Structure formats: structure tokens, C-alpha cells
Structure 1
Amino acid sequence: MVHQSVLSALQLAAEQDPNNTELKLHLSDLLLQAGQAAAALEQAKAALSSEPDNVRALKLAAWAADEMGQTDTAARYHHLHDALTGVIQGAAPLPKPVLAVTDHAELVEHEPDGETSDQRWDLQTPRVTLADVAGMEDVKRRLELSLLAPLKNPELLKMYGSALRGGLLLYGPPGCGKTFIARAVAGELSAKFINVGLSDVLDMYMGQSERNLSEVFALARRRAPCVLFLDEVDALGRRRSQMRHSAANVVGQLLSELDGAKASNEGVFVLAATNSPWDVDPALRRPGRFDRTLLVLPPDLEARRHLLELETCSRPTEALDLPALAAKTADFSGADLTHLVASATELAMEDAIKSGKVRPIRQADFIRALREVRPSTKTWFETAKNAAQFANDDGEYDDLLSYLRGKSGGR
């Protein structure tokens, strides 16, 4: 729960900087988390007064109105949000794509498909490539060798009588950029991108989950070349021995779609992400399916410095030593770094409330924040070490175990 002193500091800052829309939206989000829906709605409305087409503000306003029981008001905000993002059921397609800003300021075009049944899926045209991924050189090198180079050189594949089949499974701690990397792959291939989460597929009604999977694969085939990204695939494709019969049917449907049993998957590149690859059904790991894995680790030193720079560039700061901070944040995920910057900001604002004067965020604020903010990846590594050691018969987790040995040897 966000402390009231932090909320008060943010409200003071928003009053002193009335044109700062991002600050209003951040405050609105925090107020919602704190159960202060009315105040959250006011901040969202203030943001909309200057930017009526701000989709994040519309979403926050809709959520806040819902929390207050204002169903009609919430419906209006939802309607405007859906119209701008092209997902309103039964609406005609928008005349041109609507630009939206995603995490870390990457631009994508959200394109409503012509068929009403497809408008529920978020079809995007990413504008990022691997060049926009800071650091992580080993991940980019392996992506280039195992996936991108063959796709970019179809003549070479044809010459060798080969074809690139199957999908790529990205695994690693949460919050380390697996979705961003998948989106960058789509950008490299000048392909469409569909991000499919667990909640997009699973449905309480018998057979609907299977139909949802069939529907999104059909959309990807129609809009090829297309990168279809399955997030949380460990939950979607969990070992069938651990599932009820109805849920196991979803795995069967996914296997059928990956195999192209009813339609060709040419031009459809399936990427998936998981925090727990050892929980994925073995049938999904066979050749022609998710037969290649790529370990996505926490950002390296260069990537951490870049992420800290991105997170602080729009905030008032003074004499920050970002390289030194990056060096102190080993094992931090991208999400952890965002939390660190938010915590340092809150300390500066708390001080501003006490003194009555707004001041910039300083290095000392980060040092104080580091006493409380710890890397969230350590728990994952502890679990992963045990799982990988007992499930590495084919060398699948050699990269992970090598990394863990390197960490242990450096202490």
C-alpha cells in the first residue's frame, strides 16, 4: 500500500506543475491502488482536460468510475478508450492506425482488423528493433543466429533444403524484458505483433478457450508475416498430468495450432515467454514446436545504466551518478529499477512536504532507497537452480547453470 505521505507529496507536485500529464496519471494510478477512487478520477479528468485523447487517462478514469459505482460514466470512458484503440466491438475500422506509447517509450501502431471477431486481439506494428534493446548482447547474438538470420535469408535455407520450423521459448526471471524483446523481433522482421496473455485465452465456458486459441492463430496467419507472442505459456501449456481434463484440452489445441494441422503457419513466428520452463508440457518442447530456448537474464551493467537514464530523464534530478547506481544494482530486473527510481522520487517528495520547498532528486535519495529496494530476481534464481539441476539431462539449462556458477564464483 502506498503511504499517504507519498500521495500528498505527489498531489503537491501536481499542483505546482499543472501541465505535467504523466505526473497526474502516475498519481491517479497510485490513488486507485490506495482505494481513493474519487481522487483518482479527478486526476485522470485533469489529464484529459489537456489531452482528451490520452488512452491511459481514459482507462484510469474508467477504472476509477467503476470503483465508485458510476457504471454509466465508466462505460463512456471505456467507449472512448476502445474507439481510440480500435477495439470496440462492432465498430467500423478506424481510418488509420492509432499510435500508442508502451513501456520504455517504444512506439507501436495498434491496427484494428477488418473482422469484428478479431478486434479483441491487440494487433500491433512495432517500431522498435533489437538496436533499441540496451546491453543484453548475448541475447541479441543468439536471436540473430538462431532465428533472425535464417528468416532474413530464405534463399540460403532453400539452398540447403531446410526450413525454419518451430517456435522460440524465452525464459528467465519476471520483469527482465521478455515481451520487449519479442516485440523487437517483430520490428526486426517488419512483421505484425500479437501479444496474447493467459487471460486473453482462458475462458470459463466449455470449449471457448480452444476457440480463442484457434481464432488468434487464424488472425496471425491472415496478417503474416506476424510474430505471435504467448505470454505465461507455462500456465497456458502446463503439464497435462497436472491439469483437469478441460484445461488439458487447451494444451491439445495449442499443439494442433503449432503443428499447422489445419492450416499452414508459413509467415507466422511463434515466440513464448515463461518464468518456469520446467512446468511447460514436454509435448510443447518437441521438434517443430518450442524446440529452442533462450535465457533472458536481468539487465547487464550497460542496460541498467540505460534504463535508469530512461526512468530519470523526465524527472527533476541533480548530480546523479548513474554509472555508480548501475553498479550497485546487480540482479535488478527492469521492473526493480523502475521501483527504485519511484522510491527515490518518493523520498525527495516527502522531503519537499516537510520543508515546503520542491527540490530535485539526488544521489542520496537513491542510496537511501537502495537500503529498502532489493532485487526481486533472487527468489527466482533459488527456485531455478534446483529445477535446472534436476531437469538438465539434455543440457537445456546449461546457460542458466553456467550463469549461476559464475555468480557463485564471484562472491
Structure 2
Amino acid sequence: MSSPLDSLKLALEHSPENVPLLLLYAKTCMEELQLADARETFLKVVRLEPANAEARLGVASVVHLEGRGSEAAVRAEQLIEEQPQYAPAYLFLSRILAGEGELGRAKILYAKALELDRTLADVSLEKELAESRSNPGSEPRGPRKVGVTAGGDYLEGIGSGDDDDSADGHSRGGAAFDLGLADFEKPKLKFEDVGGMDAVKEEIRMKIIYPLQHAELFKAYDKKVGGGVLLYGPPGCGKTLLSKATAGEIKANFIALGLHQILDMWIGNSEKNMHEVFELARKNAPCVLFFDEVDALAADRRDLRQSAGRNLINQFLSEMDGADSQNEGVLILGATNAPWHIDPAFRRPGRFDRTLFVPPPDEPARASIIDVMAKKKPIGELDPKALAKKTEGFSGADLKAVFDLATEQVLNDAMKTGKVIPLTTKDLLKATSRHKPTTRAWFESAKNYALYANQGGFYDDVLKHLGLLK
């Protein structure tokens, strides 16, 4: 008996440019978690009909499922900018922002979605947004958005709330306070708190830790402290955690940045924000400057036709080079799930000159992660090694999902009896059968790039992990 996908594929062979059929196929692919096929099909519709809002929102949805939340938000913002009457885009962006804790902006967008289409009411989202009424800090600070076309171009975006000028009429954009960086942290986390990833840790030691510990020796070789390291790999494998641990190892300041803290709808402010961030790091060296989802800020300029995106990338490159100020003592860490979208100029020596693959944790690392996760839960009999053997390919985030699933089941039984029921290995093993590793979809995409776009052996580590290169 053929599956719905097989039937749709057969129909598309006879009518390959049938847009409604392509949309149905793409949605079915998403339901089956065949994200690469879904994205490719949505993009085909966009090529056939560039203004097709359903297809463009579909691309954003796939990107979001792949773990690139900031890029998904930017795509949705641009769709709203170009088609302000398309209600589903407001709802989609509202859900993303609510998930990130930006309840004020999410509430405004949800209200707009309902104003355009009352049938989009979402009871669970409404409950989440209700929290913003008692949380003034979640209200929007003003417009800070840009859009991105289906081809990846950055454009000016929509505003929400009042303008971002201070009482004296001067723009506040670019200040560390406005970027939410006035109080940054010195993490207490160390490498010993992060399971596995020994090769990656050693690379980081050579780049930043050893130069600080053996300053005179490195100075004799004219080896400076600082530079850039790009961490890439499947989502949920500890890139952010490792970055914090790096700062903890050297007792350095740690500044974590997201896309929303840099991008600004006003021309020139994004570049100004980028400069302010680097200046803040230089003044507080030694400092680890961490860019999450860095591919959104360092996109390949060959894919950009608008000047705004190019200008920001050029500013980023200039700051990394230390053209106007020295970056001594500043380690720039970038994390991405999609290194193939990053401009090649960022991989030039002196910028992200170390590119490190962060794979899913191996068996000993998974056992270590399981031990850590078990500490805050009522645990009965637990065999981390047995559980680690059954979770090949699971990321740290996947292991957390396993604990969540097992906990939900045990809580259900506990509520019936009114007593605390400890989690056991059996409960956790049962939960692993209900959760599939999310890293598989990433490796499907990465394999293609590693096999067919591996200039200079950039993706050799991916091929080695997959057993395709010795």
C-alpha cells in the first residue's frame, strides 16, 4: 500500500509545476518530518510564484523546525512587511517570540493576526501571552527589525510600538544598555562540567586558554591572545554550553548575542550596534564574545542584493580584523547549524580561522549528560551506561526530551497515588522509543554539502563522523 507521499510524488511527475499540489506535498513532507524535501518544495513554489505567502511562510516554518529560530523570525518579518494583510505570518511570528519570552511583542502580533482573521485563534498561545500583563519587562522596547526575502536579502522591516528615540530626541540605538548587555556574566561553568568534546576543548585551549596561561612563551612566538572560533554542528549538541565553559575556564567576561540584539530597522544602526558590542568586549578583555546563529549575521554576500545586509557583514568583518581597535584578549566564538550559509570571507585567517565540528555526544559523553540530568529528579535505579547505549545519535537536547517524556509519564502515575514515584532506567528506556534523534535531519543536509561542496576539506569532520572518510 503506497503512502500519501508516494501518491503525491506520482501526481507531481505528471504535473510538476502544479502549485496547489506542490504545497500539499510540502506540507505532507513536514508532517512526516522530511524537512529537506519540504524546504526544497516550498522554495520551488517561491521560484514559480515569488509572492506566494503560503510557500514563503512554509520555508520559515521548516527553518524554525531545523533549529534556526532567528532566521525563521526574520523571514516572517519580511513576509509581513511585503504582505501586511497575511494573518498567518503574524501568528507564526507571535509563536516564535512567545517561545523566546518576548511576550509583549508576541501579544501585539497575535492581536493583529486575529484582527485580520478571527479563525486563527489559538487558546494555548493566549494563555502564554496572558503572562505579559503582569510582566512589564516583556513589553516591546520599540522597533528593532529587519526583513529577509526568500532569497536571503536583508531589508528594512516593520515597527511595533513607539519609536526608539529617547526623551531628548536622540536615537538610543547602539548603546550597550539598549542591547541588553549592561550586566553580562562571568560564567562559573568549566570544561569539566561539559561531557565529551575533548578534541574541540583542546582546540579552544590552544586558541585562548594556553596563551593566557603562558603569556611570555606565546609572546616570544608573536602569538596573540584572541581570535575567532566557529563552532558548527547539529542543534542541541552543546555549542552554547561549550562557549560559556570557555569563558569560565579563563574567568573571562561572557557576552552572548542573538540576532535581535544587532539588527535594527533604521539604516546604519545595525552596523553601529555591531561596533558597540565589539567595543564593549575590548574594554572588558579578557572577554568571550559569543554570536549564536552567526550565519544570520554573516550570510554569504553573494546571496544578497540589498546594501543593508552587505553593509552589516562588512562591518562585522572589519570589527573582527580590528581595523580601528585591537582585539587583543577578545575571543570571538560563533555557533551555527548551517555553516554553508556563511560568507567565505569569515573563514580567512585572523577571523574565524578555527572551524570546529561539534558532533552529537558519544556514548561516554551521553552517560555523563544523563548523570547530570538525573541529579535534579527523584531517581530510583539508574544505569546511565545502558541508557547511553540505546541513545546513539541523540543530542543533549534529545536526552533532555527523553527525561521530560519519562517524567510526564511518572507524574501521571504519581498524581493518581499522591506519592512521589522515582524515575528508573526502565522509564527512560521506554521514553527513548517515543523520541527520535533530531540530529538525523541535520546530517541529511550536511552530508550533501560534505560530499559535493567540500572545498579545502572544510567538512571532512562531518564525513569522518558519518564513516565516509578515514
Report the CA distance shift for 1:256/1:315 in structure 2 as closer, same or farther (over 3 A).
Answer: same
Listed one character per residue, the Cα deviations across residues 126-175 of structure 1 (whole Å, up to 9, x for unaligned) are 11221222222222223223443234323222222343563111111111
TM-score by length of 2: 0.62
The match for 2:135 among 74, 77, 99 is 74
The residue type paired with residue 202 of structure 1 is L
- CA apart distance, 1:347: 1.1
Shift of residue 68, structure 1, vs aligned partner? 2.4
Once the two structures are TM-superposed, the CA of residue 307 in structure 1 deviates from its matched residue by: 1.5
Cα separation, partners in 2 of 1:130 and 1:367, compared to 1, 3 Å: closer
The reply on whether 1:250 has 2:312 as its aligned counterpart is: yes
Match of 2:228 among 158, 167, 186: 167
Question: Which amino acid in structure 1 is aligned with residue 232 of structure 2?
Answer: Y
Distance of 1:159 and 1:374 partners within structure 2: 51
Q: Does 1:305 align with 2:363?
A: no
Residues 121 and 377 of structure 1: CA distance in aligned 2, closer, same or farther (over 3 Å):
farther
Q: CA deviation at 1:69?
A: 7.7
From 202, 222, 225, give the equivalent of 1:141. 202
Q: Secondary structure at the match of 1:228?
A: strand
Q: Which runs of 5+ in 1 are unaligned?
A: 1-31, 38-62, 79-89, 91-113
Matching of residue 290 in structure 1 with residue 352 in structure 2: yes
Q: Deviations over 1:299-357 (max 9, x none)?
A: 12222112112222222222122210011111111111111001001111223345565
Change (3 A) 1:265 1:325: same
Partner secondary structure for residue 352 of structure 2: coil
Q: Extract unaligned runs of 5+ from structure 2.
A: 1-97, 104-124, 140-165, 167-174
Distance 1:129 1:290 in 2: 23
Partner of 2:459: 397
Distance 1:172 1:66, change over 3 A: closer
Cα deviation for residue 298 of structure 1 reads 1.1
Partner of 2:382: 320
* Cα RMSD after superposing both structures: 3.0
Matched, 1:372 2:422: no
Q: Deviations over 1:84-130 (max 9, x none)?
A: xxxxxx9xxxxxxxxxxxxxxxxxxxxxxx97557545511111221
What residue number does 1:43 align with?
none
Q: 1:10-409 alignment to 2 at 5 Å?
A: 67-68=129-130, 71=133, 73-75=134-136, 116=177, 120-121=181-182, 123-163=184-224, 166-243=227-304, 244-354=306-416, 357-405=419-467
How far apart in 1 are the matches of 2:334 and 2:180? 22
Aligned counterpart, 1:27: none
Equivalent residue pairs, number: 316
Alignment correspondent of 2:78? none
Does the Cα contact within 8 Å between 1:122 and 1:194 map onto a contact in 2? no
The answer to whether the 8 A contact 2:181-2:255 is kept is no
Aligned residue for 1:264, secondary structure, equals: coil
Name the CA distance, whole Å, in 1 between partners of 2:137 and 2:458.
50
Identical columns (%): 45
CA 1:268–1:371 in structure 2 vs 1: closer, same or farther (change >3 Å)?
same
User: Does the 8 Å contact 1:178/1:273 carry over to 2?
Assistant: yes
Contact 1:284 1:290 in 2 (8 A): yes
TM-score when scaled to structure 1? 0.70
Contact persistence 2:252–2:288 (CA under 8 A): yes
Letter in 2 for 1:283: A
Task: State the AA in 2 paired with 1:291.
Answer: D
CA distance in 2, matches of 1:175, 1:70: 28
Distance 1:361 1:69 in 2: 31
Decide whether the 8 Å contact of 1:122 with 1:195 is kept in 2.
Answer: no
* Alignment partners' CA distance in 1, 2:284 and 2:132: 39
Amino acid at match of 1:323: K
Q: CA deviation at 1:362?
A: 2.3
Greater mean deviation of Cα atoms: 185-194 or 360-369: 360-369
Q: Which letter does structure 2 place at the counterpart of 1:267?
A: G
